Amino acid sequence: MAFFREKALLLGGEPNIPASSSFDYIYVGDEFCERRLPDSETISGIAEQCVKSGANLTLVTSYFTGEGIDRLKALLDYIILNSIACELVINDWGVLELLEDYSGHFRAIAGRLLTSRYLSKFNYQDLRSKGAEIVNEDFDCSFPGAFLDFLKTRNITALEFNNTNHLLKTHGQLKKNNIKAHIYLPYYYLNTSRYCSCARGYGSYMRNTDDTCNKECNNLVAIRRDGYLNTDILSMGNTHFVKEKIGIEDLTLDADRVIFNDPF
């Protein structure tokens, strides 16, 4: 049975906290698309709901363009100006640099896009023969201690994981470094890109040539059966997701926080 010290809920496209919420944290925002960064009005509304429900607020951020960084900076300024208590999940190194201007205002968390880079099943590295023999290194090589040391110098004491396999690969190294582990369940992402297949509807697969975004992904999810993986793949905006095959109640994980991200 999985044991989670904290429970979090990732809100969908129309963010409202369930009336019977018993979550410790409410996640708002998106890891994969800068256009889904909440506006100040949304943040203010969710912050008020968090106060009423006794939950903490966590802002999730994606990878950004320069324009997106500017929008995030304006939002962070608003959060500070209005004294809103808020964690910040980072999935872009540029955001970590931006936080140097906001020292002490936000508790920063390394998001799963950053973490997965060091634990990906495709992250092969041969330290002995320089490529002659491909080996899949375990945690100590593919997730180097230097990375953990770097995060601690930036006061990041929590990492978020994409799937159960990634979390199991840590082999207890996080606890030795006093770093907390968060995991998203039940859906983990397969891949993401700047191209959004949801633009103008999933059926068309037309590129959004005029670069407009109507946030169709707030209400549209495409599901297709993948014969190779023998599972359903969910397309949500610019990212594909797969559901963990093992039920949450049957997992044997020791994570500090679980973030429930079921779009249904």
Computed over every residue of the chain, the mean pLDDT equals 82
| Rounded distance between C-alpha atoms, residue 50 and residue 21, angstroms | 10
Q: Lowest mean pLDDT of 61-70, 179-188, 240-249, name the range.
A: 240-249
Query: What are the residue boundaries of the structural domains of the chain, listed by start?
Result: 3-186+244-260
Percent of the chain with pLDDT strictly greater than 90: 46
Q: What is the pTM of this model?
A: 0.85
pLDDT band at 30 (very low <50, low <70, confident <90, very high): very high
| Rounded distance between C-alpha atoms, residue 80 and residue 184, angstroms | 27
- Are 13 and 263 a contacting pair, CB within 8 Å? no
Query: Does 138 or 88 have the greater pLDDT score?
Result: 88
Q: How far is CA 105 from CA 81, 83, 260, in A?
A: 11, 10, 26
Query: Does 183 or 140 have the greater pLDDT score?
Result: 183
Per-residue pLDDT, 202: 56
Helices (H), the chain: 40-53, 66-81, 93-98, 112-119, 139-142, 145-153, 164-168, 173-176
Residues 145-155: tens digit of each pLDDT? 778 888 888 88
* Tokens at 225, concatenated: 């059966």
Per-residue pLDDT, 214: 76
Residues 191-215: tens digit of each pLDDT? 998 878 776 655 554 454 555 677 7
* Tokens at 203, concatenated: 């059926």
CATH fold label, 3-186+244-260: TIM Barrel (3.20.20)
Query: Does 256 or 195 have the greater pLDDT score?
Result: 256
Residues 73-125: tens digit of each pLDDT? 999 999 999 999 999 999 999 999 999 999 889 999 999 998 887 765 434 33
* Tokens at 142, concatenated: 């593919």
Residues 226-239: tens digit of each pLDDT? 888 888 998 888 89
